[in-house]
Structure 1
Amino acid sequence: MISEQSDWIMRKFLGVSTHFVAAAVIALQSAWFAPVYAADTAPTVIRLAAPDNGLGGKEHFNGGVADVLVWRHLLEEEFKRDGINVEWHFFKAAGPAINEAFANKQIDFAFYGDLPAIIGQANGLQIKLLAATGRQGAAYLGVRSGVEVKSLQDLKGKTIAVFRGTIFHLSLVNALASVGMSERDLRIVNMDLAASTAALSTGRVDAVWGSSNLYELEDKGLAHVAFSTSDLGGVGAIQSVLVGSDAFVNSYPQITRRLLRVFLGGYDWMSEHSNRQIYLSEAARRSGFTQRQVDRMLGQVSFAETMKPDLDDSFIESLDKQVSLAKEMRLIRRSFSAVEWADQKTQQETKVLPRDDIVKAITQ
């Protein structure tokens, strides 16, 4: 970590001029990142990140266009002729781990939830909003055996596990607020998705507010899914985004547009109804979920609507609401305008580029 190296330098040269130390740190940082961000040259590597929602050590599964990019090696093929390597990094620890990777200059782009992206931007990560990747996604309430929950009000006083700082945390807060409740009405335990499902299966918590992996526990008879945000009329629905580091996007605008063109081509393919069963079948084969579980998660979802990449007024407005709520929850100290965060120019410039070749490459 650069911060650790900086601390070491300070200790090593204790007593030396702070100006000298600062110059040494800057020189060290410049040398460290030179292979990736050398001026006036193409990058040697593009590093992307996404949460990994798959089960049992299977291949990456995210439940969106990123899956198609990974499974079909679309970005690798796009940049192969330029000698640019493409690296994917998948994080079980989801958004907080991705923000840490951004802070440590280990990644250039990320597909992840809106809340961790908002937290990152508010805390100075310097990332640009390039596209929407998910809207009106579902969060799920898994309940341990022997506990009956039919409504949000039934959760009062119960021990609920949720991963703080993620889209599921914000989803829970929004859902509770819709019935006049707050986190104070529950006993909240902060756990990542893997730890929370383990705690639920052993009865250490009453319920988990999280992802569709809760269906696995239901199928094993270890818990049951009481309802999802879809059953609540969309209250507490989750959103996700594609962001890129300012350093990369500003240094390599053409490479960024090419990457975004491939992403938009992936969306074009997924939005065609004739391709949905192909995706659902491949998701079941690769993710570790059964076909029945995948169909319950995504079978009734309109990919054209929920994965629409446009940074349109409705999406920007919803992000502004999330920013306000995050500040109210004291997850961030300063608010910001989503429309100023969004890189509309890059998306508009990319949209006019042809991408039939991307759709064809996926279909083959």
Structure 2
Amino acid sequence: MKKFKILSLCMSLLVTSAIFIGCANNDKKTNVKKDTPKEINLTYVKAPLNVPSILEKKQNSFDNAFKKDDIKINWHEITSGPKQTQALASGDLQILHALGGTSAILAKANGVDLKIIGIYSRAPKAFMIISNNPDIKTAKDLKGKKIAGPKGTVLHQLLVGALEKNNLTSKDVNFINMGLPEGFAALNNKNVDAALLAGPVALKAIKNGGKIVANGEGIVDGTIVTAVSKTFLENHKDLVDKFKSTHKETLKFMKEHEEETLKKVSQEVGLTIEETKQMYKWYDFDITIKDKDIKELQKTQDFMIKNGLQDKKIDIKELISK
């Protein structure tokens, strides 16, 4: 009888242990499901001429890469830098694929915990000051004139840099904060003397008789980056690595299939093949973060602080993922 009681007690303990182990296993499975994202949300910015993004969306590059992980890819056409970084901070976006260096720095200074994982592009020639006024030939001639453009951007930095090269400041011009389409229209309607334009809009302005007063060469590289939230990077480094490797495959495809690439891109941006080819030459899409890129971002930060667009200085190297 005593042996039977001991045997019953042992059986009860075994059953209880099995239940606890089963629960623990279920908890582990639940945690795995919670930790692995069901979807990745990233930005789609095709202008001025973001060739990699256009191809990656058209060819379902990321959809195919993350299919094995059962992760859905959602593209979001958000072109405003501040809106992109706000969505990253709230968790609505995980990857900002083509974010202006100015927006990345400003977001970090304002407490958004993001990390730059690569350079998206550099294109000093793609950013321009254009005028229809025959009296405006150089940036020196902009003194006292009305100039339209987006405040706190690469184009704004170009304007300030071009003025400084001619011993002028932003106080010497009448700067009007305006988006690219609005600036283009204002220039055509002769409501402004010059406009800060980039990409296809700049080419259209030139076709309409506009002249290039200055571009970014020797002034600003026009650094665009790819950024992720620090939390997403720490929790899902494997997914970030897969994203980067897929992006590199796109860059390789662009080099090996240039004609096919230009055809697809021209259709998306509404340019001819020749116009697309002309613009394509202006861009460097190398993802590698070089010392000169860090210096360029530091120069961008100096511009924003000097012009009252940023209060708190940050360590640019801390912004970059190691």
**Deviation of residue 227 (structure 1)?**
4.2
- State the match for 2:307 in structure 1: 329
Are the aligned partners of 2:44 and 2:77 in contact in 1 as well (CA < 8 Å)? yes
| Amino acid of the structure 2 residue aligned with 1:327 | I
**Deviation of residue 314 (structure 1)?**
1.6
Quick one: distance in 2 between partners of 1:320 and 1:141?
Answer: 23
**Deviation of residue 292 (structure 1)?**
3.5
Quick one: distance in 2 between partners of 1:107 and 1:62?
Answer: 22
Are the aligned partners of 2:116 and 2:226 in contact in 1 as well (CA < 8 Å)? yes
Quick one: distance in 2 between partners of 1:100 and 1:41?
Answer: 23
Quick one: distance in 2 between partners of 1:176 and 1:69?
Answer: 38
The counterpart of 1:225, out of the listed 197, 211, 227, is 211
Q: Where does 1:1-364 land on structure 2 (aligned, <5 Å)? A: 41-53=35-47, 62-92=49-79, 94-110=80-96, 111-138=98-125, 139-144=127-132, 146-212=133-199, 213-219=201-207, 221=208, 223-229=209-215, 233-270=217-254, 272=255, 274-298=256-280, 300-301=281-282, 306-344=284-322
Which deviations, in whole Å up to 9, do the C-alpha atoms of 1:114-140 show, x marking residues without a partner?
Answer: 111111111111110100111243211
Q: More deviation in 181-190 or 132-141? A: 132-141
| Amino acid of the structure 2 residue aligned with 1:260 | K
Q: TM-score, normalised by structure 2?
A: 0.82
Are the aligned partners of 1:142 and 1:208 in contact in 2 as well (CA < 8 Å)? yes
Secondary structure of the corresponding residue to residue 136 of structure 2: coil
Are the aligned partners of 1:172 and 1:236 in contact in 2 as well (CA < 8 Å)? no
| Amino acid of the structure 1 residue aligned with 2:93 | I
**Deviation of residue 155 (structure 1)?**
1.0
Are the aligned partners of 1:229 and 1:237 in contact in 2 as well (CA < 8 Å)? no
Q: More deviation in 276-285 or 181-190? A: 276-285
Which deviations, in whole Å up to 9, do the C-alpha atoms of 1:281-310 show, x marking residues without a partner?
Answer: 222122112233323322x33x5xx21111
Distance 1:253 1:199, change over 3 A: same
Quick one: distance in 1 between partners of 2:320 and 2:288?
Answer: 11
Unaligned segments of structure 1, at least 5 residues:
1-36, 54-60, 345-364
| Amino acid of the structure 1 residue aligned with 2:203 | Y
**Deviation of residue 179 (structure 1)?**
2.2
Are the aligned partners of 2:131 and 2:213 in contact in 1 as well (CA < 8 Å)? no
**Deviation of residue 52 (structure 1)?**
3.9
| Amino acid of the structure 2 residue aligned with 1:42 | T
**Deviation of residue 49 (structure 1)?**
1.2
Quick one: distance in 2 between partners of 1:196 and 1:38?
Answer: 50
Unaligned segments of structure 2, at least 5 residues:
1-30
- State the match for 1:6 in structure 2: none
Secondary structure of the corresponding residue to residue 47 of structure 1: strand
Quick one: distance in 1 between partners of 2:181 and 2:264?
Answer: 23
Q: TM-score, normalised by structure 1?
A: 0.73
**Deviation of residue 152 (structure 1)?**
0.6
Quick one: distance in 1 between partners of 2:178 and 2:86?
Answer: 17
Are the aligned partners of 1:149 and 1:226 in contact in 2 as well (CA < 8 Å)? no
Quick one: distance in 2 between partners of 1:71 and 1:78?
Answer: 14
Which deviations, in whole Å up to 9, do the C-alpha atoms of 1:61-91 show, x marking residues without a partner?
Answer: 7424222222211001111222211111123
Quick one: distance in 2 between partners of 1:175 and 1:309?
Answer: 27
Secondary structure of the corresponding residue to residue 132 of structure 1: strand
- State the match for 1:359 in structure 2: none
**Deviation of residue 250 (structure 1)?**
1.7
Are the aligned partners of 2:162 and 2:214 in contact in 1 as well (CA < 8 Å)? no
Quick one: distance in 2 between partners of 1:307 and 1:105?
Answer: 27
The answer to which structure has the higher helix fraction is 2
Quick one: distance in 2 between partners of 1:205 and 1:171?
Answer: 18
Aligned positions, number:
289
Q: Kindly, what percent of the aligned residue pairs are identical?
A: 21
**Deviation of residue 263 (structure 1)?**
1.2
Are the aligned partners of 1:46 and 1:108 in contact in 2 as well (CA < 8 Å)? yes
**Deviation of residue 217 (structure 1)?**
3.2
- State the match for 2:5 in structure 1: none
